[in-house]
Amino acid sequence: MVEKLPVPFHTQLCSSSILKPKLPFKTLVSHNLSKFISMSSEPQNPPMEQQQQHEEQEEGSTQSKKAAKKEAAKLEKLRRREEKSASGAFAADTPDSLAANYGDVPLEDLQSKAVSGRKWIEIANLNEELKDQNVLIRGRAHAIRSVSKKMAFLVVRERGFTVQCVLSVAPDVVSLQMVKFATGLSKESYVDVEGTISVPKDPIIGASQQQVEIQVKKLYCISKAVPALPINIEDAARGEIEIEKALQAGKQLVRVNQDTRLNFRVLDLRTPANQGIFRVQCQVENIFRQFLLADGFVGIHTPKLIGGSSEGGSAVFKLDYKGQPACLAQSPQLHKQLAICGDFGRVFEIGPVFRAEDSYTHRHLCEFTGLDVEMEIKEHYSEVMDIVDRLFVAMFDSLNEKCQKELEAIGKQYPFEPLKYLRKTLRLTFQEGVQMLKEAGVEIDPLGDLNTESERKLGQLVLEKYGTEFYILHRYPLAVRPFYTMPCSGDPAYSNSFDVFIRGEEIISGGQRVHVPEFLATRAEACGIDVKTISTYIDSFGYGAPLHGGFGVGLERAVMLFCALNNIRKTSLFPRDPLRIAP
């Protein structure tokens, strides 16, 4: 179904905007590294760089563009010299009787030519028990080191795991030409390696599989990478602490800045930290689903294309829908409530949410993944908070238990402290929060909203007093909540609503909704909304509506804050912000 449309497909691919700076394939191959890796504190590509700079200053470095060019030229010279010396005295270019044991696999052999029955073993599974056995692995040429013209080391990487492969000239097994072929491989190329497992005296420091090596017998290149990669994976994977320590020792290590990473996301995603981040994200979603399914919720999909033109705000992406005005859903709010009116009892949705806001902060995106919940309640919005409480404690527990490796990989590059949370989530009323801030000398409007700064401050105070970085703040002033929020019984200045905070930042918003159509119309009017524009929404509650409430979480934000990352772009696979719609 999905692939039946060859013609319009290419229209999805952006022409100029995916790649910044835009380079045709051929150019890219030979392009100098310095253009991509920001070695300068000067913004290079305004306005994108300028905007990012503000947030990403810590990722800039101070070496000048000129110096980088010089450095690259030097490296190129060195590489050529090495190449020359390898092919020097010995005739590595002459015909080789062992030629069938290595080389580039021709395209026709990669076109599903046959099912050979060969078995590849995962690099992660290589260990001493396989000593002297013949193995076949596939992975990337992660690092290549030429020891002499007769010997080379090739570190092969497969999904974060690496193994050292040894090419050593031996009669009828490895020729000089084969060693040359190995040392000529470009980094990140895909290779098949066949060889015998050996156990070295000392553990291999440069590989994840430290107890074993592979004595190579065959080496084929499946897919070549361009020789000059725009990002070096080693640079992209470098830990913050290593960079800082080097700086203190007066040494400048390359730090790939955020925009460069995102421009070449395909390379950036290969770092252990990024492999970890998106596996953690997947697990957050899994737990969200599994917990809710076990609690009687039904997973639904509501439309993202919404009829009607945008009158109220610029924060909506508008489009033409077959001649009718339409826009992209800013949240599944309307339709998840309709699903409740449709008797599904408890529903959740995981799907994209679109916000056309001009937010250039570390925590806003124009497109993110919303985790949404809506449910019948019997009498109190605390029933919704109960779900939040149990769901998130279960989630944090599970992440800490099941994603240890991933969290470690993330922490290695971006060090962070594990999240502090209580077995039973703390609940404070908004008024209590205001009082805590007041006592700490921060005066805020008791009927206004918290700004980012006061949210952070309150987060600190709560951590000091209650020992948790995860808590619920509820009974918000009615004036700062959406019109569909149910006011408190007998106290209409406040509302049956809540926000949830992780490490001083909001990640969840929720509450009880108004389910009485006449009252909903009154509330909409009071908020300055033209009731006519939302008549269907209001009418839907006229067919008998359950008491209900719900909440929404941003998936990227949840992962960012759990791992104490400094930018939501780190937790979005291909982020979209006001300046970025590529790749």
Please list every residue from 288 through 317 that binds a second copy, using CB under 8 A: 289, 293, 298-313, 315-317
Q: Name, in order, each residue with C-beta under 8 angstroms of 276's C-beta and a sequence gap of 6 or more.
A: 403, 405, 406, 407, 408, 409, 410
298-299/346-354 β-pairing: parallel
Q: Least Å distance between CB 513 and a second copy?
A: 10
Closest CB to a second copy among residues 55, 285: 285
According to CB under 8 A, which one of 49, 96, 188, 194 is a site residue for a second copy? 188
Q: Per rule CB under 8 A, is residue 455 in the interface with a second copy?
A: no
Which class for 471: exposed (0-12), middle (13-18), buried (19 or more C-beta within 10 A)?
buried
Q: Which is nearer to a second copy, 90 or 483 (CB)?
A: 483
Using CA atoms, how far apart are residues 515 and 341, in angstroms rounded to an integer? Answer: 9
The interface with a second copy within residues 206-245 (CB under 8 A) comprises 222-226, 229
Binding flag, residue 184, a second copy (CB under 8 A)? no
Is 551 one of the binding residues for a second copy (CB under 8 A)?
Answer: yes
Contacts of 114 (CB under 8 A, 6+ apart): none
456 among known catalytic residues = no
Among 557, 563, 567, 569, binds a second copy (CB under 8 A): 557
Considering only the stretches 86-94, 203-211, 342-350, 439-447, report the one whose residues sit in contact with a second copy under the rule CB under 8 A.
342-350
Q: Half-sphere exposure of residue 501, counting CA atoms within 13 Å on the CB side?
A: 27
Contact 144, 154 (CB under 8 A): yes
What minimum distance in Å lies between the beta carbon of 545 and a second copy? 5
Q: Which stretch binds a second copy (CB under 8 A): 8-16, 75-83, 414-422, 438-446?
A: 8-16
Which one of the listed residues 474, 557, 569, 580 is annotated catalytic? 557
User: Least separation, in Å, of the C-beta of 332 and a second copy?
Assistant: 8
364 is a catalytic site residue = yes
Q: Is 506 one of the annotated active-site residues of the chain?
A: yes
Q: How far apart are CA 559 and CA 283, in angstroms?
A: 10
Active-site residue 357, yes or no?
yes
114 binds a second copy, rule: CB under 8 A: yes
**CB under 8 Å to 532, separation ≥6 — which residues?**
none
Residue matched to tokens 């990473």: 261
3-state secondary structure 23-49: CCHHHHHHCCHHHCCCCCCCCCCCCHH
Secondary structure letter of residue 325 according to DSSP: E
Question: Which residues inside 511-540 make contact with a second copy, applying CB under 8 A?
Answer: 511-512, 515-519, 521, 524, 527, 529-530, 532-540
Angle at 462 between CA 278 and CA 57, to 5 degrees: 50
Rg value, the chain, Cα: 29
Binding residues for a second copy, how many (CB under 8 A)? 186
State yes or no: residue 259 binds a second copy (CB under 8 A): no
User: C-beta of 89: minimal distance to a second copy in Å?
Assistant: 32
Among residues 71, 83, 357, 432, the one annotated as catalytic is 357
Q: Which residues are catalytic?
A: 355, 357, 363-364, 506, 509, 557
